[in-house]
Every structure is written in structure tokens, then in C-alpha cells.
Amino acid sequence: MERWNGKVAVVTGASAGIGAAIARNLVKQGMIVAGFARRVEKIKEIADCLKDFSDKLHAVECDVTKEESITVAFAWVKDNLGPISVLVNSAGITKESSLIDGTLEDWRSVFDVNVLGLCLCTREAVRMMRETAVEDAIVIHVNSLVAERVPFVPGFSVYPASKRAITGLAMTLRHELAGTHIRVTNISPGLVATEFMASYSVFSPEAMAAMPVLNPDDVAAAAIYVLSNPPHVLIQDVVLRPLGESW
């Protein structure tokens, strides 16, 4: 990880859960991190808890459903922190709904964040990586095990489809970046104990306590593993699940 010391990473969805854990761990590895989120006060709280590393985590307000918000955020990073070497697309939402009785508004909101927001952030990051001719860069998509197999979870609706889309987008991006020094990795965890999953009624605190789960730092460790490999090694996919998970 020494070669990443002082390099700039952007982490979306950095205010909570997996995104917060990845931002926190990258800072501890010596990276300068721009944490994108709407709830910037949450990122500032994380920075305050980092003590000796607090000046390396920067809270940047960004709504990934709005193109202008994304372009402004990336421009701030370029002007204030320098060129980006790492992008972690961790922003994601879900809406408890159904394909039979759900609403277009709910379905669209999931795809706006999980798919289109990811595309916009990736576009801006890759443009900057190419314009600044970074010699070693990585784009990491925080995906999900449900992109490959969908368990029966009442209310999942379009969420698994949004994650399957990310798998296809990563493959396409690798083709478009052929011949460059930019690598693309999917990290697909199983069930992770976050407020994200707690939004489903089936994943009540009592139910979660009885299930095998990962914690956000487990996923952050996977991101560190991806970054720790030499530039000529592409880790295409990382799949991790809690021991005993039946999905």
C-alpha cells in the first residue's frame, strides 16, 4: 500500500456503512480521501474521530442523482486535492417495494443512484485520470452477491437488477479502458450489517442478530486487498460472504 501514500481517492456514499468504512481505512493507509455524500456532517464526524488522520478525510457534498452536483464535486477535488488515483463507487440505495405493486418512482430512484449515479461518477473520475495521465489507477464498484443469485427477500424488487447492471457496466468499462493503466474491480459482499439493510422490515435488529453477517470493515479490507496488488495485476471480482450464509 506504500505507493498509494498521499494519493487521492474519491469514495461515494462515504457518510455511513460500507462507504464510511472504506473511506476511514484508506485514510489510515495514508491516502487523501474525498468522501462524497449528501450528509456531509456525518463525514465530518468520522474525520473528527480519526485524530491524527483527520486532515486527510475531506467531506464533499454530492448528490449522485444530480449531474451538476457530481461535476462540481469532482472539480472541487481536482482544484483542492489534486488528480484522482482511486474511485470507490459505494453510494447505493434500496426501496422496499415489489415488481407487482411497486411504483415507477421507487424503481427509478434505485436505478438513479445505483446505476446512473455510478456511471456519472465513473465518467468524471476516468476523465480526470486520463487528463492527468495517472500511471496507476483503480475504479472499485461496491456491488452485491445478489447480482449473481437472488435470494427470496420480500421487497427486493429492482435492487438485484440494479446490482446486476453494475456487473455489466464493469465489464464494458474494462473494454473501454483497454490499453490504459486504469483497472476496474467489482467487490460483491453478501449480507452486511448496515443501516442500509435495516431499511427492510425483514432485517429487523432481532433478525439480523440471528443471521451470519459481515461488517463494513470486512468489505473495506477487501478494498485494501485490491489496492495492495501490483499495477500489472487486475483483481476483476472479489466475492465475500459471512460464513454460514445460506444465500
The DSSP code for 158 is T
> C-alpha 39: how far from its chain's center?
16
**Is 159 an active-site residue?**
yes
Q: What angle do CA 114, 116, 122 make, to 5 degrees?
A: 95
- Cα dist. 77→24, 54, 121, 198 in Å? 18, 17, 13, 32
CA dist 152 → 181, 209, 222, 247 (Å):
40, 19, 26, 9
At residue 207, the 3 state secondary structure works out as helix
Quote the CA–CA distance of 187 and 143 in Å, as a whole number.
6
Residue 124: CB partners within 8 Å, gap ≥ 6? 70, 71, 74
Alpha-carbon span 69 to 129, nearest angstrom:
19
Q: Which residues contact 48 (CB under 8 A, 6 or more apart)?
A: 54
Cα separation of 57 and 54, whole Å? 6
Q: Which residue carries 464526524 as its cell?
A: 45
Catalytic residue among 36, 107, 156, 159: 159
Contacts of residue 116, Cβ cutoff 8 Å, sequence gap at least 6: 65
**Which residues are known to be catalytic?**
159
